[in-house]
Amino acid sequence: MAARETEMLVYIVQGDGGGPCKIGVTRNLKHRLATLRNASSSDLQVIRTIAGGFETEAWLHDRFAGKRITREWFEFSPEMLEIEPPEFQDAPEQSSLPLGTDFADPIPDDWREQFRRALVRGTGGRRQEVQRLTGCDKRVADNYLYGIHTPPMHILLRLMATIPEVAKVIITLTQAAHSQRLARVMDALEVARRELASESPADEPETVAEAARGNG
């Protein structure tokens, strides 16, 4: 049996006729490329790979921000084939959605997208709401909303405790992939909810949905 790919890899893909390219990160490039091709009308090809993780990906996104079309898609620049990002000490916890460092299994790429969609639904896609719930800055909030990064465990639990859509998605994915470990997620979620309850004023809405109704 072939060993599973576990190292993070930044990739740049482009259609065979040129045009826009995508800068992303994955643990399994073969699987990721197949997924992208299934969703694309053009025959996407890998034009470059770079050893690195989310920090490297974010650095490249910032470097070519002036060429961004949407999210991880950019107008092509020849510099993309030559530029050498700095070396980062990427935190393995960042990709450990949702169960932390003791779970060594590669995280499926589609988890990140499903988390992003739930976050957008639960916050209305409002950066300020993500900042309020997580205490992060504007850039990090945008990274979560655009699916560039996933949050570390303590932030994820906070989001699960306040946004029902996020909790439902993560619990469902965890149950499907790690049914024997779901109890630990539920225990941690209950602790996070109790901590939030002790922090929040009595008149503060308990969920994003309640806040939205109050603003309606």
Tell which wins on pLDDT, 150 or 121. 121
DSSP secondary structure string for all residues of the chain:
-PPPP-S-EEEEEEETT---EEEEEES-HHHHHHHHHHT-SS-EEEEEEEE--HHHHHHHHHHTGGGEEETTEE---GGGGT--PPP----GGGG-TTT-TT--SPPPHHHHHHHHHHHHHHHTT-HHHHHHHH---HHHHHHHHHTS----HHHHHHHHHH-HHHHHHHHHHHHHH-GGGHHHHHHHHHHHHHHHHHHS-TTS-SSHHHHHHHH-
Q: What's residue 180's pLDDT?
A: 56
CA distances, 179 to each of 99, 112, 142, 175 (Å): 12, 19, 31, 4
Residue percentage of the chain with pLDDT more than 70: 72
Structural domain containing residue 47: 9-90
106 and 15 in a common domain: no
Spatial separation of the C-alpha atoms in residues 50 and 33, rounded to whole Å:
15
pLDDT at 74: 92
Select the more confidently predicted residue: 69 or 211: 69
Q: Look at residues 42, 59, 90 and tell me which one is the last residue of a structural domain.
A: 90
User: Which of these ranges, 42-46, 109-113, 141-145, 198-202, has the smallest mean pLDDT?
Assistant: 198-202
Which pLDDT score is estimated for 101? 34
Counted domains in the chain? 2
> Which of 20-29, 85-94, 144-153, 174-183 is predicted least confidently?
85-94
pLDDT value for 47: 95
- Residue 196 in any domain: the answer is yes
pLDDT of residue 110: 63
CA dihedral 32, 35, 41, 44 (to 10 degrees): 20
Evaluate whether residue 4 is within a structural domain.
no
Q: Output 29 or 103, whichever has higher pLDDT.
A: 29
Q: What is the CA 212 to chain-centroid distance, rounded?
A: 24
Q: Which residue has the higher pLDDT, 140 or 183?
A: 140
More confident residue, 146 or 202: 146
pLDDT at 42 over 70: yes
Buried b / exposed e across 106-134, counting CB within 10 Å, b at 16+?
A: bbbbebbebbbebbbbbbeeebebbbebb
pLDDT digits (tens, 9 = 90+) for 125-166: 999 999 888 888 888 888 888 887 777 777 788 888 889 998
Q: Do residues 80 and 154 both lie within one domain?
A: no
Structure tokens at 14: 């482009």
Q: Are 31 and 99 in a shared domain?
A: no
Q: Are 75 and 123 members of one domain?
A: no
- The pLDDT, as a whole number, for residue 209 is 37
pLDDT in tens, 64-111: 989 988 878 899 999 999 999 887 654 443 434 444 433 333 345 567
Chain-centre distance for alpha carbon 15:
24
Q: Which residue has the tokens 């909790």?
A: 167
Please report the pLDDT score of residue 199 as a whole number: 56
Task: Give me the chain's average pLDDT, please.
Answer: 75
Residues 104 and 192 placed together within one structural domain of the fold: yes
169 & 69 share domain: no
Enter the pTM of the model. Answer: 0.47
